[in-house]
Amino acid sequence: MEVIRVEGGHSVSGTVTVEGAKNSALKLMAATILAPGVTTLQNVPNISDVHIMGKVLKELGATVEVVDEHTLRIDTSTVDSWETPYSLVAQMRASTAVLGPLLARFGKAIVAMPGGCNIGARKIDMHILGLQALGVVFDMDHGDIHASAPQGLVGATVTLDFASVGATENLIMASVHAKGVTVIDNAAREPEIVDLANMLNEMGANIQGAGSPVIEIHGVGELHPVTHAVVGDRIEAGTFVAVGGLVGEPVTVRGFDPEHLGLVLRKYKQMGINIQLGEREVTVSRSGPLVPVDIQTLPFPGFPTDMQAQTMCLLAVANGACVVTENVFENRFMFASELQRMGSDIVIQGHHAVVHGVPALSGAEVRSPDLRGGAALVMAGLVADGITTVSDIYHIDRGYERFVEKLRALGAHVGRVTIPDIGLEGL
């Protein structure tokens, strides 16, 4: 069993460069289905979720060539299947991003229904309701979604109940060829959605308003392949900003647009962290104690749920108490119970966590509950007394490229080690 071992109390400082955004790269890969031919994606992170999306595309008949560590050449001219099996969707829920592109290209798709996951039920009812408004008919068969558009896709106005990232993306991709105009009202505004719309427009689509709550898609004919670079990962950047804020010594994070972390940086400033903005970088440091600040997660431009665990890690050692409210996913406080094992004082009440800062954390054996929670536990280990061992690190590998190496380059005493798996789970 491979674990991440962290020795706390060492200096962590320097410059780190982030990769392209996981949440954008996965959707851009799915979107290549819409432009038959060879699309080149640059700045693609080398992480396991991207490898799974590569398998999904291959399963559909595409060729995925790895040009170099961060460049993929995807030939979708050979895509001749519209079925995505459960074995892949079960590994990564974002595989459902092929639903929209397959419907647009073939007028039909079979996608296995994603199961629940660690951070909640993660339903896809809004994807389905929106696509139905465009003329898609759904049939559920043994956990597979059979979707077809017998009369073709026809533009309509869809008002989402909640600004869902996945539903907004699937609707954009499904409607690029739809007859007439599609309007998505209460659309998600995340930078990754803007990146998707930008690439589709480069391919010849006509999408207006991405980044605002109302997106308008005018149906067009064939799209053509392009070369496109994935937007920088604001969440990977935010994680290293949090590392700098936690340890206190200057950390410069490069390779992303600091505006994409707007509210996070404002909150961190209130927490007593010095923030110096550069053009595509930010430098953080801290000389005084961490100040507790209430946080509530919301869709962009609100505080990202994907930064909640890393931020709770800072608040756990702040000088006082505060409340963290999770509004986007149910069941996203599992990280907090692991952090308790390191001596934090956090009480969960429904979707609120009351965090009383403690003077210090202590090293412990903890288990990564999900992607961001796993990264946050490694962070906690950096300032804890003694040794912290984080298991189930495959979660971290899903979304962070060379996380341990990047921390080591900043001076952290951290490494991946293989320890015997004594198999207690089976008892």
Catalytic residues, by residue number, are 117
Give the shortest CB-400-to-ligand UD1 separation in angstroms: 13
Which residue, chain included where needed, has tokens 């946050």? 376
Give the shortest CB-166-to-ligand UD1 separation in angstroms: 3
Half-sphere exposure of 320 (CA within 13 A, CB side): 10
Give the shortest CB-49-to-ligand UD1 separation in angstroms: 7
Site residues (CB under 6 A) for ligand UD1, limited to 289-328: 305-306, 328
Which one of residues 29, 98, 126, 183 is an interface residue with ligand UD1 (CB under 6 A)? Answer: 126
CB nearer ligand UD1, residue 185 or residue 222? 185
Instruction: Count the Cβ atoms, other than its own, within 10 Å of residue 234.
Output: 28
CB nearer ligand UD1, residue 81 or residue 118? 118
CB nearer ligand UD1, residue 248 or residue 373? 373
Packed helices 125-133 and 99-106: angle between N→C axes, nearest 10 degrees = 20
Piece of 9-17, 120-128, 205-213, 245-253 that binds ligand UD1 (CB under 6 A): 120-128
The string of DSSP letters for 249-316 reads: S-EEEESS-GGGGHHHHHHHHHTT-EEEE-SSEEEEE-SSPPPP--EEB-STTSB-GGGHHHHHHHHT
Which residue, chain included where needed, has tokens 């799974």? 52
Size of the site for ligand UD1 (CB under 6 A): 21
User: Taking a C-beta distance cutoff of 8 angstroms, is the pair 274, 291 a contact?
Assistant: no
Given strand 214-218, what is the order of strands in its sheet?
A: 157-159, 181-185, 214-218, 206-208
* Closest among 91, 80, 89, 97 to 143, alpha carbons compared: 89
CB nearer ligand UD1, residue 138 or residue 162? 162
Which residue, chain included where needed, has tokens 């869809």? 158
CB nearer ligand UD1, residue 297 or residue 388? 297
CB nearer ligand UD1, residue 3 or residue 34? 34
Site map 66..105 versus ligand UD1, x via CB under 6 A:
----------------------------x-----------
Residue nearest to ligand UD1 as judged by C-beta position: 166
Sign of torsion over alpha carbons 417, 420, 424, 427: positive
Give the shortest CB-415-to-ligand UD1 separation in angstroms: 27
Residue 48, interface with ligand UD1 (CB under 6 A)? no
Q: Rounded CA gap, 172 and 210, in Å?
A: 10
Residue 329, interface with ligand UD1 (CB under 6 A)? yes
Piece of 53-61, 122-130, 140-148, 206-214 that binds ligand UD1 (CB under 6 A): 122-130
Residue 167, interface with ligand UD1 (CB under 6 A)? yes
* Closest among 63, 32, 81 to 223, alpha carbons compared: 32
Triad 197, 51, 78: Cα angle to 5°: 70
Which one of residues 139, 143, 157, 162 is an interface residue with ligand UD1 (CB under 6 A)? Answer: 162
Residue 256, interface with ligand UD1 (CB under 6 A)? no
β-bridge pairing 281-285 and 274-277: antiparallel
User: Could you give phi then psi for residue 267, rounded to 5 degrees?
Assistant: -65, -40
Q: Rounded CA gap, 89 and 103, in Å?
A: 17
Which one of residues 76, 84, 95, 164 is an interface residue with ligand UD1 (CB under 6 A)? Answer: 164
CB nearer ligand UD1, residue 53 or residue 203? 53
Residue 199, interface with ligand UD1 (CB under 6 A)? no
Residue 23, interface with ligand UD1 (CB under 6 A)? yes
Which residue, chain included where needed, has tokens 């895509």? 79
Residue 166, interface with ligand UD1 (CB under 6 A)? yes
Residues lying near ligand UD1 in the complex (CB under 6 A) are found at 23, 26, 94, 120-127, 162, 164-167, 188, 305-306, 328-329
